[in-house]
Structure 1
Amino acid sequence: MNRQAVKGDLDSRVFDTINMILLGLFAVVIIVPLWNVIVSSFSSGRSLAEGGFIFWPTEFSLENYRAVFSDSSIWQAFFISVAKTGLGVVTHVFFCAMVGYGLSKRYIRGRRLYVAMGVITMFFSGGMIPTYLLIKSLGLLNTFWVYIIPALLSYYDVVILMNFFRNVPDSLEESAKIDGAGDWRVFLSIFIPLSMPAMATIALFNGVSQWNDFMTTKLYITDQSLYPLQMLLYDIIVQSQTQSMQNIGGSAIIETTTKGVQLATIVITTLPIVAIYPLLQRYFISGMMLGAVKE
């Protein structure tokens, strides 16, 4: 028994050591490029012109951030990004929860048909051109609502919430209805509070997707006043590449200045998600563990 205990303890230590080394290397692979972007955004144009990896700015400068914030379009783009992400997450989660609550009831007529139709949309879509024609026919081109309405429903999220709602004891709903509560009251007062971990997980994923999305703007928006931060960043990257090609062999000031503004915009774009994620992490972990343990 003692030999087995010593061997088991040795195996555990070897496993922990290897695991820590692998996780440490994985963390380095993630942190080093991110650190390079942040530090480079605080470097002067002369430092960026020298090229290479920057571990610490030799010439600290805030000119890149001054150039970004001096542009009035950055504030409008930031407002659009915050508005479409906040409103999009709330409406998406609530709409998916409503659909999932309805489909979780086995007595709903036509439930199998609705479920089958939803499953089909998980694997097949109409394509880019039919979707564009649909958006155009609905009058959503060059409107803020093109960010919200098409993203209301994700059947994958509906399935997650539908399975979660099925685990809620029927006795809770029955007792509430005996006390006179209707379906809306049961949904809002019982199912929504009990499903907060699942809804927070869906909100986190959808929020990151909404915040990083620029293809919707590229396909359906031509009005620059409706551009989010991500589309503004996309334009900066395209302009920097174009200017770099046009100025090969010439002055490097334009290229380095544009690169610095590009890096500063990347940091500003990423910062809100990095700040919000720790606040939702505990809900995210609880949501990911849903259904993992059965008693």
Structure 2
Amino acid sequence: MLMLKRKTAGESVFDAVNILGMLLICFLTIYPIWYVLVNSFNDGQDAMRGGIYWWPRVFSFDSYQAVFASPGIMTAMGVTVAKTVVGTAAHVFFTAMVAYAVSRKELIGRNLYMTVGTITLFFGGGLIPYYLLIRDLHLLDSFLVYIIPAMFSFFHLIIFLSFFRDIPEGLEEAARIDGANDLSIFCRIIIPVSMPVVATIALFHGVYQWNDYFTGMIYINNQDLQPIQTFLYRVVAQSSSNQMVAAMPGGISKSVTSQSVKLATMVVTTAPIVFVYPFLQKYFVRGLMIGSIKG
């Protein structure tokens, strides 16, 4: 019969301190989100009195109605969804393809490519040269500005490399015997067996694409091509929020404020990725572990 070892007083205190510390960290992480959510569902004028911490005092959907009634929000949401889906697919495929090529020992100039790529992790050209490059490529005010510049990441290439190096060479040799070329091997063998790292990179880049507001703010002047995060940036600005409130019908504008509109907009723009993230979080952990454990 197994005897359970009784914890010492020191071990019990240590466990209690750890539990309390983790609970405190969870509270500090979750409560700000809860505070924004609660105040976004409260009447804007009533929220100005303060004292709302755990639950709406005067429940109201008027702030959300004001957000969805604002011109351009559905277009901005559509742009965000489109650039997230297309941009993530293009980024994963192109970065994986380059990583597969670099992982081949017979590639000429392989070490040079790795050296140049490593330098780019530490040094950049700056915003002005990058803007001039985007302009010369005729990507200003174009949907492709979200896709083409973000198709490749050397950091993600390193993650792909760590995974590709563990793939048995026998798989490729068998495919070549059957007459497959490099593209067929990559699409039919490498990608299917690399789904864990593919899902990891897709999640990394998908979150980036969804949260990116800077690209739309700097390189896009056409509001029909601006993503939801750039729309949020404009709403958070005090002048934009006041204009939005002033444009609402009288029954709504009396119960909302610029602050309540900001909070509601934050919830609308972050809710989709917040709901998706918990289901895909395991891929983050798996991505961090890629290449660190053999066997």
Question: Under a length normalisation based on structure 2, what TM-score does the superposition of the two structures give?
Answer: 0.89
The question of whether the paired residues in 2 share the 8 Å contact of 1:47 and 1:59 is answered with yes
Instruction: After TM superposition, give the deviation of residue 41 of structure 1 in Å.
Output: 0.6
Quick check: 1:151 aligned with 2:165? no
Quick check: 1:201 aligned with 2:206? no
The question of whether the paired residues in 1 share the 8 Å contact of 2:234 and 2:240 is answered with no
Q: Secondary structure at the match of 1:123?
A: coil
> Between the two proteins, what is the percent identity of the paired residues?
47
The question of whether the paired residues in 2 share the 8 Å contact of 1:47 and 1:57 is answered with no
Report the equivalent of 2:249.
Answer: none
Instruction: After TM superposition, give the deviation of residue 236 of structure 1 in Å.
Output: 1.0
Distance 1:243 1:71 in 2: 12
Q: Secondary structure at the match of 1:197?
A: helix
Residues 37-76 of structure 1: pairs in structure 2 closer than 5 A = 37-76=36-75
Quick check: 1:260 aligned with 2:251? no
Report the equivalent of 2:77.
Answer: 78
The question of whether the paired residues in 1 share the 8 Å contact of 2:75 and 2:224 is answered with yes
Report the equivalent of 2:99.
Answer: 100
Instruction: After TM superposition, give the deviation of residue 292 of structure 1 in Å.
Output: 2.8
Matched to 1:270, the amino acid is T
Query: Deviations for 1:59-117, whole angstroms, at most 9, x for unmatched residues?
Result: 00000111111223110010011111111111111111000000001111111111111
Q: Secondary structure at the match of 1:133?
A: helix
Instruction: After TM superposition, give the deviation of residue 10 of structure 1 in Å.
Output: 5.5
Matched to 1:164, the amino acid is F
Report the equivalent of 2:285.
Answer: 285
Query: Deviations for 1:12-53, whole angstroms, at most 9, x for unmatched residues?
Result: 544433222111100000111100100111000222221344
Cα 1:242–1:278 change in 2 (3 A) is closer
When the two chains are superposed, the root-mean-square deviation of aligned CA atoms in Å is 2.2
**Which 5+ residue runs of structure 2 have no aligned equivalent?**
244-252
Distance 1:282 1:194 in 2: 18
Report the equivalent of 2:190.
Answer: 191
Distance 1:40 1:276 in 2: 23
Cα 1:240–1:28 change in 2 (3 A) is farther
Matched to 2:47, the amino acid is L
Quick check: 1:115 aligned with 2:110? no
State which drifts further: 193-202 or 78-87. 193-202
Distance 1:196 1:141 in 2: 34
Distance 1:288 1:268 in 2: 30
Question: Under a length normalisation based on structure 1, what TM-score does the superposition of the two structures give?
Answer: 0.89
Q: Secondary structure at the match of 1:149?
A: coil
Report the equivalent of 2:217.
Answer: 218
